[in-house]
Amino acid sequence: MVVGVLGAGTMGAGIAQVAAQNGSEVVLVDLNKEMLTKAETNLDKVLARLVEKDSISEDEKINIQGRITYSTDIHDFKACKIVIEAIVEKLEVKHSVFANLEAIVSQDCILASNTSSLSIASIGSVLKNPTRVIGIHFFNPAPLMPLVEVIPAVQTSDATLNFSKELISNWKKVGVICKDTPGFIVNRVARPFYGEALRIYEEGIADFETIDWAMTSIGGFKMGPFTLMDYIGNDINYAVTESVFEAFYYDPRFKPSFTQKRHKEAGFYGRKSGRGYYNYAEGAEIIAPNQDSNLGYSIFERILVMLINEAIDAVFMNVASIEDIDLAMTKGVNYPKGLLKWADEIGLDMVLSKLEVLFTEYGEDRYRPNPLLRRMVKEGKSFF
Ligand code: NAI
């Protein structure tokens, strides 16, 4: 089977590698020849490292490389069974590209988008046969991150969905199905990890170092929120927050933060610019966190209950199943536990009472406990 990948940037190159490593023939197309050359050279390096580590043989390396055809011409997608688009995140561009693609590919070719934030229904609206559109959202770096969100739009046929689910599982990825809603699962449920951490900082409760320490040492997260935002880039992370906020009709739960906006405006993007919340210059001063355990616990619990409330909202609004929401957060962003399982462990009544304390103190909608949480506590239920 031939798989088309459009866009040979960070994501497209990674998706092409996943496909080829799992036996699919790949046509990788980019308008920019340099990006194709870069993708080919990078893949050679990555595979050479895998050979060194004995993860694959030299023959396998050659076979994987032989399965990818690099091209600047989308007409080379003619024989594809599916094309996954991973080009710039601009709706107008995706619209024109999808209309062009449909004129080239076969009647039953599936047209998928790797978009992080755009509506799949809107992308599919330009197609004569919109039942073939679907979202297939990989995480960066695609060859390493196990999670893939599969997003059927209102127009998507069962055949398109079933084919996509099977493909993802053949590529040995963990597929979760989610509704075509802003941020899908991960980028919606994870918002408080950043937003509440920023809020705690803005209120002067603790500095970046202390909040990061609380979330890693007490919470067991691999990275603290500020280290992670610096890693993702404050420009990118702020843009996602703003787009989710707008897409949810300005729901105060998703309100972006001035602190992050100012960091972005100042060019303090994080690791890639040498400075973010932290200074990455050689010899820069390292500030020790305040390791007061009461403070640490209160920071961790506040962020955790906000995350749980968001995960519960995703269940409440039927964005995905309980199992898939927990899988998404553990396999897509490496959370130490699924948030709903975590909620069961703490006790839903405890989660509710902590949220109620915040809601009463602040009087802000941001802290309103989800109706499903209230209902489950009243009925003495748990998620698992
Ligand atoms: P990128 O900027 O690294 O790569 C985009 C590539 O598309 C470039 O090589 C560019 O030359 C090419 N391109 C642009 N317009 C084109 C066209 N009309 N025809 C053919 N090629 C074209 O972008 P990146 O980061 O790989 O993102 C791609 C998509 O994946 C976006 O929709 C983004 O939202 C999504 N995404 C990005 C993630 C990330 O962490 N970078 C994670 C998951 C999804």
**Structure confidence by residue, pLDDT tens digits, 134-145:** 999 999 899 999
Residues near 7 by beta carbon (within 8 Å), at least 6 away in sequence = 29, 30, 85, 86, 87, 88
Confirm whether 187 is a catalytic residue. yes
- Give the C-alpha separation, 107 to 104, whole Å: 9
d(CA 325, CA 330): 9
The CB-based long-range contact list for 248-251 (8 Å cut-off, 24+ gap) reads 248/182, 251/365
Residues of the chain within CATH 3.40.50.720 domain(s) are: 2-177
- Name the residue of 10, 15, 36 to mutate for ligand 1: max ligand atoms within 8 A of Cβ: 10
What homologous superfamily does CATH list for 2-177?
NAD(P)-binding Rossmann-like Domain (3.40.50.720)
> pLDDT band for position 117 (50/70/90)?
confident
Q: How far is CA 127 from CA 73, 77, 103, 159, in A?
A: 20, 17, 9, 17
Phi, psi of 270 (to 5 degrees): 130, -145
Contact criterion met (CB below 8 Å) for 264 and 198: no
The amino acid sitting at 265 is E
Give catalytic status of residue 52 as yes or no: no
Q: Answer whether residue 18 shows pLDDT above 90.
A: yes
- For residue 13, give the ligand 1 atom closest to its CA: 26
Q: Coil, strand, or helix at residue 211?
A: helix
Distance in angstroms (rounded) separating the CA atoms of residues 24 and 168: 12
**CA nearest ligand 1 atom 16, residue:** 87
Amino acid identity for residue 87 in this structure:
I
Rounded Cα distance, 146 and 22, in Å: 14
Contact between 180 and 121 (Cβ < 8 Å)? yes
Ligand 1: residue of 5, 76, 85, 87 to mutate (most ligand atoms within 8 A of CB) is: 87
pLDDT of 229-257, one tens digit each? 999 999 999 999 999 999 999 999 999 99
> Confidence band (pLDDT; 50, 70, 90) for 196?
very high
Residue nearest to atom 18 of ligand 1 (CA): 97
**What's the pTM?**
0.95
263 assigned to active site = no
User: Can you tell me the distance from the alpha carbon of 58 to that of 52, in angstroms, rounded to the nearest whole number?
Assistant: 9
CA–centroid distance, 115 to ligand 1, in Å, is: 9
The segment(s) of the chain belonging to CATH 1.10.1040.50 are 188-379
| Domain 188-379 annotated CATH 1.10.1040.50 | yes
The set of protein residues with a Cβ atom below 6 angstroms from ligand 1 is 6-12, 30-32, 35, 86-89, 93, 97, 114-116, 137-138, 140
Atom of ligand 1 nearest to the CA of 232: 40
DSSP one-letter string for 41-69: HHHHHHHHHHHHTTSS-HHHHHHHHHTEE
Note if 149 is an active site residue.
Answer: yes
Q: Can you tell me the mean pLDDT for 361-379?
A: 97
